[in-house]
Amino acid sequence: MTMETLAADLKDKTTISVPSEAQDAPVAEAIGTSTSSAAKKKNKKKAASTAAPADAEAKEEAEGDDDEDEDDEEEDGANTADNTTVKKKKKKNNKKKKKVAQTEPPTIPVSKIFGNKIYPEGELCDYNEENLWRTTNEEKRALERQNFDQYNDVRRASEVHRQVRQYARRNIKPGMSMIEIVEMIENGTRNLVEANGFESGIGFPTGCSLNHCAAHYTPNTGDKTVIQYGDVCKIDFGVHVNGRIIDSAFTLTFDPVYDNLLAAVKDATNTGIKEAGIDVRLCDIGAAIQEVMESYEVEIEGKTYQVKPIRNLNGHSIDPYKIHGGKSVPIVKGGDQTKMEEGEYFAIETFGSTGRGLVHEDMETSHYARVYDVQHVPLRLPRAKSLLQTINKEFGTLPFCRRYLDRIGEQKYVLALRNLVDAGVVDAYPPLVDIKGSFTAQYEHTLVLKPTRKEVLSRGDDY
Ligand SMILES: [Co+2]
């Protein structure tokens, strides 16, 4: 999910900090990263296919602990009788049978796979020199233990994201309709996270923006668009547990001609992730991202393009039930000097383009969200009033799309929805596009700046 900051001349929407060179344009946010260092890659390989723990300790702690506990109990039972080492070995072999496997398509809740309900940690990164003391500081470690439940919630959301996207990456093929694609992802998410009101569910509409469209496209009901071999599709979806949202995205292509475009954006996002930390200025992250992104070229149909960051899209902080917190993470230089702080969650997302590197609103809107801290607004239309009640009850402040209204049985709501947007109670997020004929790519991860270390929550062995 990208955060959109509209220029003053477009609308009186909340404006997010726009880098000086982009002040004539709308700004949206995009995140996504992965570290590219050899060491990190090694860690990734060590991690289990369903998870991305960064160190062996974390992995052991997080994975299969339940099974082991159960086995230990059984072993203990055997021990109190007349146990032998042979018996113990048998028990260990039985372990494999007990491990619950995911189905294809994914239907098994991750709470059934991690029976002890302790979910794998993401990629752990020590802070830089000035903050390296945090790693071993007892006070910071204690603080972190206190926050365990919060981290465990968001790690559960991460695990759902990894499992759903891995299935999606293997199974989305040219010829599928966009509706089929998003339903595959949304059904998987609802099943694996055991969607239940505000306790757990989809974090925001599933983006599947194509080609020159960079963000905020998901099909509305009746959309007949079919994905083609030559398309560049940004799959951007969200999962939440108790309002803790994982916002992570990748780019899907079938034609290898786009490989360098994707490599540029993946590297740029990983650079943003690497730079992120407590006391780091947002503008410094943007500058580092731009430098890496622009070091790539891509050749498409005989024409060479330097990959441009889309300068009016940004990463963003994430608060509980609030996908766009107060801070924007630019992807070009010249951004604001606000610093990242301990405890904050960030979606680091970058977008690269073969076009202008600037997006504007276009096409039919699908994405909406109730304004987070809206004052009471008198509404004349009874239909608008009742629709607002439905939105409050079903989505609260989480973004939704028209399909989500359709599936809960709402009908003929377009006028009422427009009324709510005009009244300033609901924000509309139209698709954001670069120039026609251009191609855009995105990678995004969610991280948390824990007291002792940075944790890249949505890291997987795919990206
Ligand atoms: Co985002």
Q: Read out DSSP for 168-187?
A: HHHH--TT-BHHHHHHHHHH
Per-residue pLDDT, averaged over 40-53, amounts to 38
255 is catalytic: no
Q: What is the mean pLDDT of the chain?
A: 85
Residue 388: pLDDT band by 50, 70, 90 thresholds? very high
According to the annotation, is 349 in a ligand binding site?
yes
Is it true that the peptide bond before 105 is cis, omega within 30 degrees of 0? yes
Res. 26: pLDDT tops 80: no
Residue 98: pLDDT band by 50, 70, 90 thresholds? low
Q: How far is ligand 1, taken at its centre, from the CA of residue 82, in Å?
A: 57
Q: How far is ligand 1, taken at its centre, from the CA of residue 247, in Å?
A: 5
Of residues 457 and 6, which shows the higher confidence score?
A: 457
Task: Express as a percent the part of the chain with pLDDT over 70.
Answer: 79
Threshold 0.75, pTM exceeds: yes
Neighbours of ion ligand 1 (CB under 5 A): 1, 31, 247, 347, 349
pLDDT of amino acid 235: 98
pLDDT of amino acid 94: 46
Residue 141: pLDDT band by 50, 70, 90 thresholds? very high
Q: What residue type is assigned to position 5 of the chain?
A: T
Res. 10: pLDDT tops 60: no
Q: Which of 4-18, 254-268, 311-325 has the lowest average pLDDT?
A: 4-18
Q: Which of 76-90, 356-370, 419-433 has the lowest average pLDDT?
A: 76-90
Q: How far apart (Å, rounded) are the C-alpha atoms in residues 242 and 240?
A: 6
pLDDT of amino acid 1: 84
Q: Which of 203, 155, 193 is nearest to 54 (CA)?
A: 155
For helices 282-293 and 259-275, what crossing angle results, to 10°? 160
According to the annotation, is 360 in a ligand binding site?
no
Residue 4: pLDDT band by 50, 70, 90 thresholds? low
Q: How far is ligand 1, taken at its centre, from the CA of residue 450, in Å?
A: 19
Q: What residue type is assigned to position 258 of the chain?
A: Y
